[in-house]
Amino acid sequence: MLEAFPLMPDQIVSEDGQLQPGETVTHTPAELRALWEQMTLVREFDRKLVTLLRQGRTTFYAQASGMEATQVGIATGLRPGHDWVWGYYRDQGVALGLGMTLHEIVSQMLGSNSDLNKGRQMPHHAGSARCRFVSGSSSIASQLPPAVGMAMAQAYLGLDEVTVVTFGDGATSEGDWHAALNMAAVQGAPCLFICENNQWAISTPVTRQTRAESIHIKARAYGMPGYFVDGNDVLAVQRAVRTLADGIRAGSGPVLLECLTYRVGSHSNADADAEKSYRTRDEVNAWTSRDPIERLERFMARQGQEIGAQDRAQVVARIHRDVEDAVARAEASGQPDWRTMLEDVYADTPSHLRHAYEDLRQEYGSGGTK
Ligand SMILES: Cc1ncc(C[n+]2csc(CCOP(=O)(O)OP(=O)(O)O)c2C)c(N)n1
Ligand SMILES: [Mg+2]
C-alpha cells in the first residue's frame, strides 16, 4: 500500500543496494536484468546523442542522465500500447521503454525521410501512435490540459485505459499545470500526473520554484492524493506507477506522483552548465555518486547477480552499434521533400498557407528540393 502525502519518498532499495525492511524481492533475475539493460540503454543513448549533437548532425538534445530509474520505472509500470502517455522533451527513456525504436527516435531527431512525423516537429520531440506516446510540445506544461481532456474522453467512453502525463518540477509553476489538475479532480478524470522532479528548471532550483514543502503536497489543494517516490530507485518507481495506474483504472480518480531524482547532465545543448555554473560541482558530484544504475547493480550483486566488467562492456558496445546503425539508416533515408509539407496536415488547407505554398512553388519550381 502506498501512503499518500508521506514525509519521505517511498523506497524499496536503499542507496547501498539493500532491500528496505519489510520489502521482499518480487522480480526474477531476468526481470532485474531487463531493467538494468533498459536503464543502460537510456544512459548510453544520451552519450551517443551528445556526440551526434557535437558533430553538428542534430540540433537539439536534452539529456536524461541521472533520471533513468524514473523514466524506465514509469514506462515499465504501465501497459505499453494500452495506456496513453503525454511526455515531455526529456522523456526519451519513457519513449524507449514504451517500445519506440532507436530508429524511430533518431529519425525524428534528424527530421529524415524515415521520421514518422516527416520532419515537421522540433528535433527531439518524438511520438508514436503505435506506442501511444504523444509527440510533445516544448511549451512547458502545455501537454497537461489536453492529457486531461483525453482522460475525460476515456472515462466518457468507458475505456479500460488511463492517461499518464509527465512533466518537470519547473512545469508546476505554469498556469496550465494548475488548470489541468483542478479540471481532472473536478471531473474525476482517470489521469496519472507524474512529476520528474530533477530539482532544476534550467538554472532555477526547485527551492526557488515553489514555497511549498514538496511538489506532491500540492495535490491536496486540488482534492486528490499526492504520492512521493525515490526517483533513483527503479523498483520503487515501477511499483508506484503500477499501483497508482491500477487504482485509477479501478476508479480512484486522478493522482499526483512526484519522483525525486536529479539531472546530472546539462539542461540541453543550449545550457552552459559546466562552464558558467548555476550549481556547484559538489552538488552534481554528490548526485552522481547516487547513480540509479549503480544502485540497481549493487542490489543485483546482493542477489548473486553481479554484472561483470566484460558483460557490461559488451552490452554498452551493442547499444553503441545499435544507435550508430539507427543513425546511419535515418541519414541514408534522406530529407523529406519540401513539397510534401502540407500533405495530411489539414482536411482543408487554409488559404494563406495555400498562397504561401504557391509562392514557394513559383520560386523553386519543380526542380530539386531546396
Ligand atoms: C511556457 C514556457 N516557458 C519557458 C520555456 C523555456 N524553458 C524550456 S525548458 C525550461 C525548464 C523546465 O524545467 P522543468 O519543468 O523542471 O523540466 P526539466 O527541463 O528540468 O526536465 C524552461 C523554462 C518554455 N519552453 N516554455
Ligand atoms: Mg526540472
Helix (H) or strand (E) holding 191: strand 191-197
Task: Say what the pLDDT of residue 271 is.
Answer: 78
Which atom of ligand 1 approaches the CA of 197 most closely? 16
Q: Report how far ligand 1's centroid is from the alpha carbon of 199 (Å).
A: 12
**Is the predicted pLDDT of residue 370 greater than 70, yes or no?**
no
Ligand 2 centroid from CA 297, angstroms: 26
pLDDT > 70 fraction of the chain, expressed in percent and rounded: 97
What mean pLDDT is predicted for residues 112-124? 92
Whole-angstrom distance, CA of residue 30 vs CA of residue 35: 9
Q: How do residues 18-70 score in pLDDT, each as one tens digit?
A: 999 999 999 999 999 999 999 999 999 999 999 999 999 999 999 999 999 99
Interval 289-338: pLDDT, tens: 999 999 999 999 999 999 999 999 999 999 999 999 999 999 999 999 88
Paired sense of beta strands 226-230 and 204-205, if any: unpaired
pLDDT at residue 72, as a whole number:
98
Q: Quick check: 367 pLDDT over 70?
A: no
158 has pLDDT over 50: yes
Task: Please tell me if the CB atom of residue 171 comes closer than 6 angstroms to any atom of ligand 1.
Answer: yes
Distance CA 64, CA 170 (A): 15
Atom of ligand 1 nearest to the CA of 201: 13
Question: Residue 66: CB within 6 Å of ligand 1?
Answer: no
Give the C-alpha separation, 154 to 345, whole Å: 25
The CA 208 to ligand 1 mean position distance, Å, reads 14
Neighbours of ion ligand 2 (CB under 5 A): 168-169, 198, 201
Ligand nearest to the CA of 267: 1
- Which mutation among 124, 202, 215, 259 tests ligand 1's pocket best, with the greatest number of atoms within 8 A of CB? 202
Task: Say what the pLDDT of residue 223 is.
Answer: 98
E strand or H helix that includes residue 355: helix 351-364
